[in-house]
Amino acid sequence: MEEVIEELRERNEPVPVPLELPEEETLVEIQEEILIHLPFGLREYLLTVSDVVYGRLEPVTAADPQSHTYLPEVAAHAWDIGMPRHLVPLCVDGDRYYCVEEDGTVLLWDAVDGEMSDESWETVWHWVRDVWLES
């Protein structure tokens, strides 16, 4: 995990309005808003590197309610179009949603056919390493 965080920090791209990291209280408020517990790996990601901007993928964020990547908004839309309610979105990639199960496994859900892909990653950090950093 530390190596992945270091790699993300090194690749962080400068942007006109930098993202911020959320406070722990913000994540508690988000959980209350979306009515689902945030898996541990997703919480870790949000608290440590959700301010990183890199490549074409834009994982969810939790500090700015005005952001198009704000977790409660992304989740509301994903669930509205059919993503299973027990999953928490991690990243939108066109019509595909990377999402996190309660146990921390990352899955890929296709909004077009409403089906889960066979692809999965053991943790958010595995997804960051294998998908986001490779995009």
Q: Read off the pLDDT of residues 48-84 as tens digits, 9 standing for 90 and up.
A: 999 999 999 999 999 999 999 999 999 999 999 999 9
Report the mean per-residue pLDDT for the chain.
97
| Alpha helices (H) along the chain | 2-11, 24-34, 40-49, 71-80, 124-127
Domain count, the chain: 1
pLDDT value at residue 135: 85
Pairing of strands 115-121, 106-110: antiparallel
Q: Is the pTM of this model over 0.75?
A: yes
Domain enclosing residue 27, as ranges: 2-132
Q: What is the CATH number of the domain that holds 29?
A: 3.40.1580.10
